[in-house]
Amino acid sequence: MAHDHDVTGGFVQRHRETLERALAAIHQRNHWSAYPESPSPRVYGESAAADGEAAFRARLGAPWPGQTPGASGSVLSERSPYGLELGISYPRLSAIGLDELLEAAQRGMREWRDAGPQVRVAVCQEVLARLHARVFELAHAVQHTSGQAFVMAFQAGGAHALDRALEALAYGFDEMTRHPATAVWEKPGRGEPLRMAKTFTPVPRGVALVVGCNTFPTWNSWPGLFASLVCGNPVVVKPHPRAVLPLAMTVEACREVLAEAGFDADLVTLAAEADGDRLAADLAVRPEVRLVDFTGSSAFGTWLEQHATQAVVSTEKSGVNTVVIDSTSDFAGMCSNLAFSLALYTGQMCTAPQNLYVPETGIQTDEGHKSFDDVAAGIGTALHGLLGEDKRAVEVLGAVVSDDVLARLEAALPRGRVLVDSTAVAHPVWPQARVRTPLLLGLSIGDVEVYGQECFGPVSYLIATPSTADSLAAFVRTSLTAGAMTAAVHATSAEVLADARAAALDAGVALSENLTGGVFVNQSAAFSDFHGTGGNPAATASYTDAAFVASRFRIVQSRRPV
Amino acid sequence: MAHDHDVTGGFVQRHRETLERALAAIHQRNHWSAYPESPSPRVYGESAAADGEAAFRARLGAPWPGQTPGASGSVLSERSPYGLELGISYPRLSAIGLDELLEAAQRGMREWRDAGPQVRVAVCQEVLARLHARVFELAHAVQHTSGQAFVMAFQAGGAHALDRALEALAYGFDEMTRHPATAVWEKPGRGEPLRMAKTFTPVPRGVALVVGCNTFPTWNSWPGLFASLVCGNPVVVKPHPRAVLPLAMTVEACREVLAEAGFDADLVTLAAEADGDRLAADLAVRPEVRLVDFTGSSAFGTWLEQHATQAVVSTEKSGVNTVVIDSTSDFAGMCSNLAFSLALYTGQMCTAPQNLYVPETGIQTDEGHKSFDDVAAGIGTALHGLLGEDKRAVEVLGAVVSDDVLARLEAALPRGRVLVDSTAVAHPVWPQARVRTPLLLGLSIGDVEVYGQECFGPVSYLIATPSTADSLAAFVRTSLTAGAMTAAVHATSAEVLADARAAALDAGVALSENLTGGVFVNQSAAFSDFHGTGGNPAATASYTDAAFVASRFRIVQSRRPV
């Protein structure tokens, strides 16, 4: 079966300019975005929001229309953190269906390989275009699985996730085409030179497995998914049982475009499971599976790294993110910025700060000296300003994603001195949503058994240290033992900032300095910020750099005398 | 301790042009070489050969002068396949010394990291220049540990190995500098744009372990060694107990240049062990070790892949290399070319052909139809022509490297019909050298239990198949089960060549077509041919592509408002 060159030629034409712009962006790492982040009708049109919501609602209470080879029966595992009845049942895959699934996944692999990088990237770009056309619908799907507030779901789950996916496509394409497809080798000698014509072909590794998470079903899954696919690998998508819909929509878009272009739709499949099936573990160690991308718990991520040794495994696991507070020239701005970072999506982000170190003697600021308790009060005031009104608060906080988060919040309470208490907020639209403001606990540097591990959710610690040097040392220590995705420092002295940068290099953590305005430590911008480093236990990979894509294909050459 | 900027500045200056040329070469993959492969006095000067031999002989019968942190006692484990008494004892490292070794290895890591890619690549290039200045001495060291003939040792162990090392440096440097060191991100908004200055720093992963092999102590070890070092990682070099000297010289050159430049010499260390100590296994699973490069047996390579899960593991293991013979327009050229490939270094190459498939009905050639036995006779005649005279023969064959090779040769004999027998050749200079010509056994397609696994050494099989399609299918099958580093095809029809190329893509093996002249399937040219693909069980990596280097460092960013 040959793919439809008219169709793929059209995709190539349509997306060429965007690809070129994306390729330029990944080499410059300055600001660029292909997908507008504002859900405003001025950007997306007057009817886009209503149409998207209607499309989302039309999905509810019905079996998912897509098929998965090897599936039997169905599974209904989602539960909106906002209390909306979703009621979508998906084809259920279990261990018994894996032979059929993996056979089907590989069926179209050769044709997909032989289509080459240019066609593959255009097909993938067309998938992104289709997803972008459904971005409002996607935002509702992300909101009602992750608990993110709508605008955040639109941005982090839609526009920004599309940017990250395009970034992964650009890196994959760049990597596959950095060598010429052909070369002539001519070795001078005493007589006739030796001449060989050579062909270099990127070939896929094998089946790729993407294991999604509950909180960022698209943003965290798309880079691996599209990086693997553009490099020629079939992709099996195993969503989190409570966040299936956004990835089911993703798989649907992939299959739709693949089929239109004349490729085998089973190159991308949805492997939904019931909670507790451990399907990802069964899949990950299959010999056919040569790539695994995972976001989730450290326990399972580490298990994958240790057991799926036939595959290249990229994991993003838990971590302990640090803010070192030494001094500031904008105390109010610092407190506001920190408050937003702590509150955003109830701290349910792998990038949210947890450990805030402050010298026990206090800090110098533009408002004069501030004691440890003054700093706590400043953050408390900022949180109150941000979250004092329920209607505004829920747009920042979103909803608590699971019982586990609430249980951790309750368990944390007695572990320190309550500096800012967590309160329940009534959601004006979704009465069943559980909404909580952040808890800030006071600790001292000796309480490492508390702050030395991740407490995922709205729990953070203000930790008194003997000095900023001790704060930096604790930062490096916890990053190397418990991992870290982000770090921030507030300091007015060049020396302290230099020390912080050096500590961040030692810790292998990205550093944000003196954020007091509209940029937050928990946000990373596609095409510019590297999300994660792979240099500490929180993650083995970064979104997105060359290392993230380079091992997703191999170069096979042929050569012949000419 | 700061490094000496005058010294490193001089290195940068001296090697800039070579680096630029190497960077161009890796993007073009056409012919380039930085190190002349001919040991002729016209190239290297009248006294170079004698000086090199004298330097080599001065090393013999004495304790190695270099130190290794954590070593205790010494080990004398080498034995020249030519019978020359080497008698060099090296500091012995055993499990008890690993804490001290790894602590010392990491001591200079930060300074090496902070020196940046440009200084690191220049320091590494200076090491290559020092090794090149000793290339005759190195050639003797390689000859008397591997058993390669002198000219081959000079080329494969000297000039070509230097090219591969430089290629690895170029890829590492290219990869570390493909993103700008700094960028300004400016996000337009309704009010003032958000502006952030960003810094991107490549940081090393951790200690790198290089495990050398007996047959190609430099060629196979240098790419990993120099790729890791240029990316900022300290390197522990664990040579094969019977091929220590070439790597001891390498480590010596590294330490000499590092110390001259003001870096910690322990960034590169020699970890010599007694045969059977399994030091590599102890080292490979240490948490400090984050990179492992290994060449050797499939058993230990697979063990490393499965157990050193804290590290990025690159392995080159055993494989079964194929030649598919369908037809030829140059029967004599084909037979000569094959004969050389089988004879070179007694087949003790990971790239030497083992399985030669011929249709049982024979093949069409420029000399008319040739039966299966005619093909065997043609190869036999060519082998006789190449090896008939002892003095010339030993320059092609070198010496048998170990008892294991002889044992395998003997064991192979009864497994097939002897088409060309192996004979012993008396070495005119080294009477103790064991020199053997290649054995060619006749098999049929059903004898997969014989030809389906590697028989490392001077054993190859001429295998009768029902058709070329069956030959290609067998090629794909054995490549995917037993691995393969090389493949070749002889065919006059475009269709068969296309089928062979497709089969090579499926098998993940580099293909050489219709080699009848001075290029051989077992040779790959640095900067042009990718050695291995990582796409089948013979190897997880290729020398050298981006995937080989991209995971040897991580990018750590910092950002601040401007």
CB-based contacts of B495: which residues, under 8 Å, 6+ apart? none
Q: Are A346 and A438 in contact (CB under 8 A)?
A: yes
Find how far residue A140's CA is from the centre of its chain.
Answer: 18
Residues of A in contact with B559 (CB under 8 A): 510-513, 519, 529
Q: What residue type is assigned to position B79 of the chain?
A: R
Question: Which residue's entry shows tokens 């979703």?
Answer: A86
Residue A276: predicted pLDDT: 87
CA distance B454 to A39: 61
CB-based contacts of B426: which residues, under 8 Å, 6+ apart? B390, B435
Helix (H, G, I), strand (E, B) or coil at B551: coil
- Å from B551 to nearest chain A CA? 5
CA distance A451 to A463: 9
Q: Identify whether B177 is preceded by a cis peptide bond (ω within 30 of 0).
A: no
Residues of A in contact with B185 (CB under 8 A): 29-31, 525, 528-529
CA distance A550 to A541: 12
φ and ψ of B546, to 5 deg: -65, -35
Indicate yes or no: CB of A200 within 8 angstroms of CB of B530.
yes
- Best of B176, B559, B562 to disrupt the A interface by mutation (most A CBs within 10 Å)? B559
Q: DSSP for A26-68?
A: HHH-SS--SS-----HHHH-TTHHHHHHHHHHHHTTSB-----
Indicate yes or no: CB of A30 within 8 angstroms of CB of B184.
yes
List the single residue in A with minimal CA-CA distance to B559. A512
User: pLDDT tens-digit profile of A266-321?
Assistant: 999 999 999 889 999 999 999 999 999 999 999 999 999 999 999 999 999 999 99
- Å from B544 to nearest chain A CA? 10
Average pLDDT over residues A49-53: 98
CA distance B401 to B398: 9
Q: Which of B512, B542, B555 sits opposite A530 (nearest CB)?
A: B555
Residue B1: predicted pLDDT: 54
What is the percent of chain B with per-residue pLDDT over 90, rounded to a whole number? 98
Residue B275: predicted pLDDT: 87
Residue A1: predicted pLDDT: 54
Q: Are B328 and B365 in contact (CB under 8 A)?
A: yes
What is the DSSP code (8-state) at residue A531?
A: B
CA distance B279 to A75: 51
Q: What residue type is assigned to position B374 of the chain?
A: D
Written as six digits, the tokens of B130 are: 């020092």
In terms of C-beta density within 10 A (0-12 exposed, 13-18 middle, 19 or more buried), how is residue B295 classed?
A: buried
List the single residue in B with minimal CA-CA distance to A25. B179
> To which H or E segment does residue A559 belong?
strand A553-561
φ and ψ of B548, to 5 deg: -70, -25
Residue A78: predicted pLDDT: 97
Alpha-helical segments (H) within A134-149: 135-146
Residue A50: predicted pLDDT: 98
Is the confidence at residue A461, as pLDDT, over 80? yes
Q: What is the 3-state secondary structure (H, E, C) of B449-513?
A: HHHCCCCCCCEEEEEEECCHHHHHHHHHHHHHHHCCCCEEEECCCHHHHHHHHHHHHHHCCCEEE
Q: Identify whether A544 is preceded by a cis peptide bond (ω within 30 of 0).
A: yes
User: Pseudo-torsion of CA B542, B544, B545, B547, nearest 10°?
Assistant: 60
Residue contacts between A and B (CB atoms, under 8 Å) = 194
Indicate yes or no: CB of A513 within 8 angstroms of CB of B558.
yes
B190 — pLDDT class (breaks 50, 70, 90): confident
- Best of B29, B178, B305 to disrupt the A interface by mutation (most A CBs within 10 Å)? B29
Average pLDDT, chain A: 97
Residues of A in contact with B197 (CB under 8 A): none
Written as six digits, the tokens of B561 are: 């408002």
Residues of B in contact with A561 (CB under 8 A): 513-517, 519
Q: Are B217 and B298 in contact (CB under 8 A)?
A: no
A36 — pLDDT class (breaks 50, 70, 90): very high
List the single residue in A with minimal CA-CA distance to B308. A306
Closest by CA position to B412, among listed B443, B384, B444, B445: B443
Indicate yes or no: CB of B28 within 8 angstroms of CB of A194.
no
Taken as a whole, chain B contains a residue count of 562
CB-based contacts of B46: which residues, under 8 Å, 6+ apart? none
Q: Which of B512, B555, B559 sits opposite A513 (nearest CB)?
A: B559
User: pLDDT tens-digit profile of B85-104?
Assistant: 999 999 999 999 999 999 99
Q: What is the 3-state secondary structure (H, E, C) of A183-224?
A: EEEEECCCCCCEEEEEEEEEEECCEEEEECCCCCCCCCCHHH
Q: Give me the half-sphere count of Cα atoms (radius 13 Å) on the Cβ side of residue B42.
A: 2
Residue B262, phi-psi category: left (phi > 0), alpha (psi -120 to 50), beta (remainder): left
Residue B544: predicted pLDDT: 92
| Cβ count near B374 (within 10 Å) | 17
Is the confidence at residue B252, as pLDDT, over 60? yes
Indicate yes or no: CB of A554 within 8 angstroms of CB of B560.
no
User: pLDDT tens-digit profile of A241-254?
Assistant: 999 999 999 999 99
User: pLDDT tens-digit profile of B442-474?
Assistant: 999 999 999 999 999 999 999 999 999 999 999
Residues of B in contact with A32 (CB under 8 A): none
> To which H or E segment does residue A417 belong?
strand A417-420
Residue B2: predicted pLDDT: 77
CA distance A408 to B29: 56
User: Apex CA B550: angle with CA B547 and CA B556, to 5°?
Assistant: 160
Indicate yes or no: CB of B31 within 8 angstroms of CB of A545.
no
CA distance B553 to B175: 9
B382 — pLDDT class (breaks 50, 70, 90): very high
User: pLDDT tens-digit profile of A435-460?
Assistant: 999 999 999 999 999 999 999 999 99
Indicate yes or no: CB of A518 within 8 angstroms of CB of B110.
no
Q: Which of B198, B517, B551 sits opposite A29 (nearest CB)?
A: B198
Q: Which of B183, B501, B561 sits opposite A28 (nearest CB)?
A: B183
Question: Which residue's entry shows tokens 């001290």?
Answer: B100
User: pLDDT tens-digit profile of B514-546?
Assistant: 999 999 999 999 999 999 999 999 999 999 999
Whole-number CA gyration radius for chain B: 25
CA distance A439 to A422: 4
Average pLDDT over residues B159-174: 98
Residues of A in contact with B542 (CB under 8 A): 554-555
* Domains, chain A, ordered by start: 69-185+195-313 (3.40.605.10), 322-513 (3.40.309.10)
User: pLDDT tens-digit profile of B31-46?
Assistant: 999 999 999 999 999 9
List the single residue in A with minimal CA-CA distance to B304. A309
CB-based contacts of B243: which residues, under 8 Å, 6+ apart? B78, B142, B145, B146, B212, B213, B214, B215, B217
The b-or-e profile of A323-349 (16+ CB within 10 A means b, else e) is: bbbbbbebbbbbbbbbbbbbbbbbbbb
Give the sign of the dihedral formed by CA B158, CA B160, CA B163, CA B169: negative
B191 — pLDDT class (breaks 50, 70, 90): confident
Q: Give me the half-sphere count of Cα atoms (radius 13 Å) on the Cβ side of residue A251.
A: 30
User: pLDDT tens-digit profile of B324-369?
Assistant: 999 999 999 999 999 999 999 999 999 999 999 999 999 999 999 9
Is the confidence at residue B319, as pLDDT, over 90? yes
CB-based contacts of A515: which residues, under 8 Å, 6+ apart? A334, A337, A488, A521, B561
CA distance A421 to B431: 87
CA distance A43 to B140: 72
